[in-house]
Amino acid sequence: MMEPRLTAGLRVAALLRRADLAGRAAYVVRRGDDTAGAVCVTVVRPDGQVQLWGQDYDPMADSRLWVMQAEGPARDIDATIVRRRAADPDLWVIELELPEGCAVTDLLD
């Protein structure tokens, strides 16, 4: 039996709150569907590189794990997001600004 899941809107609100409490900047770049939209996170590093994080489903644990799905210059990550939003208009895009050495997984659920 599948466990109930939090809505995308609530998960995004929690992520923004955790970032705020940690003193990190976080922004909703694209709003997706409040109920069932997928969430991806871009992490902007001081050197200009951007990481794209998303969730992969683990059927054995019946849970979603955050994994880095791409890394590169902002224009490449932006192009990847444009393609994903074309396929999934419900996708949320959140941007985090993190200093070197700060782990994004500390802020993700």
The tens digit of pLDDT for each residue in 6-49 reads: 889 998 999 999 999 989 999 999 999 999 889 999 998 888 88
**Rounded CA separation 95/25 (Å):** 8
Question: Within a 10 A sphere around the Cβ of 15, how many other Cβ atoms?
Answer: 20
For residues 71 and 60, the model is more confident at 71
Count of other CB atoms within 10 angstroms of residue 74: 12
DSSP 6: -
> How far from the centroid of its chain's Cα atoms is residue 1's Cα?
26
- Backbone angles phi and psi of 20, in degrees to 5: -60, -45
Q: Please say if the pLDDT value at position 2 is more than 60.
A: no
Long-range contact set of residues 98-103: C-beta below 8 Å, sequence gap at least 24: 98/24, 98/43, 98/44, 98/45, 99/46, 100/45, 100/46, 100/47, 102/24
pLDDT over 50 (residue 81) = yes
